[in-house]
Amino acid sequence: MEVWFLGTGAGRPMKHRNVTSIALKLPDPDCSLWMFDAGEGTQHQLMRTPLKLGKLEALFVTHLHGDHTYGIPGLLSTRSYVGGNGPLQLFGPPGIREMIETAITLSSTHLDYEITYHEVSEGVILKTERYTVEALPLEHRVPCFGYRITECESPGKLNVERLQQLGVPAGPLFGRIKKGEDITLPDGTLIRAADVASTPLCGRTIAIAGDTKPCDNAMRLAQNADLLIHEATFAAGQEEKAHLYGHSTTVEAARTALEANAKRLIMTHFSTRFGDDDIAALEEEARTIFPNSSAAYDLYHTEVPRAKG
């Protein structure tokens, strides 16, 4: 499971920093791509990575401000040209369908695939065999949502050699044991799953807080998360200005991570007032509160490890 930061800026693009977009590359067997926001120029950034637009299966939009949405029509159009003919799920606040369909219709854009729109509200918005996605409203100048992605627990690895010694035939019984079921063989032998399979792997949790002031729902999103991605538009000491525009500072993002017991914080969505030389100082501000903090930069990517339960 990899997270890629395609853009880490707020408001408008800069030479060294594009506007907001995050990509989540899911592991085997899915190997699909999910994206969170797509500001202007996102598809250009995507071409500078090994990620494949044709693998995009879901796009989650936090809110309708242009620095999070203006790249969507072009991204959807290009997807048709790079083999992305499967259906796409598009999640966002009320108005997301009107925004995208208006752009597609007025530009006479033809898509070779179906888009299913989901105008989200609080609660679980997507549940698959392997993942659950929950949305919670945040506090910004327009309706804005954060997303919490939870991976299901994965069965442990089977001790095939031991199963063969016990006379368990390969096939459906292996599958039942892998799911944690105890089985009884025709001769009455009880095979306990715990004795022939390793400890299950815990699912990972990623929380993505869109533009927001510090709030209770940001804390709920981040609770015990393996990774919290949180906006940090302003620096410490600029809280009044940050809150006026519905944003957070570095230390406020760090306090959210600390109080929510998150394992790791990555900050993004930095104001255009900050150049590359300022990012290290912003990072240090957060680390005074939450040591495992870092500041993302464009095309930065990281793995989210999966710990054993």
pLDDT tens, 131-171?
Answer: 999 999 999 999 999 999 999 887 778 888 888 888 888 88
Provide mean pLDDT across the span 65-70. Answer: 97
pLDDT tens, 242-251?
Answer: 999 999 999 9
Q: How far is CA 110 from the centre of its chain?
A: 28
Pick from 12-21, 26-35, 216-225: least confident: 26-35
Q: What is the pLDDT of residue 300?
A: 97
Q: What is the pLDDT of residue 307?
A: 64
Q: At 14, which amino acid appears? A: M
Closest by CA position to 120, among listed 140, 150, 145, 103: 145
What distance in Å separates the CA atoms of residue 182 and residue 201, rounded to the nearest whole number? Answer: 18
Percent of the chain with pLDDT over 70: 99
Which residues, in sequence order, are bridge partners of residue 169? none
Q: Is residue 187 exposed (0-12), middle (13-18) or buried (19+ Cβ within 10 Å)?
A: exposed
User: What is this structure's pTM?
Assistant: 0.88
Mean pLDDT of the chain: 93
pLDDT tens, 52-63?
Answer: 999 999 999 999
Q: What is the pLDDT of residue 32?
A: 92
The set of catalytic residues is 67
Judged by DSSP in three states, 71 sits in coil
Q: What is the pLDDT of residue 308?
A: 52
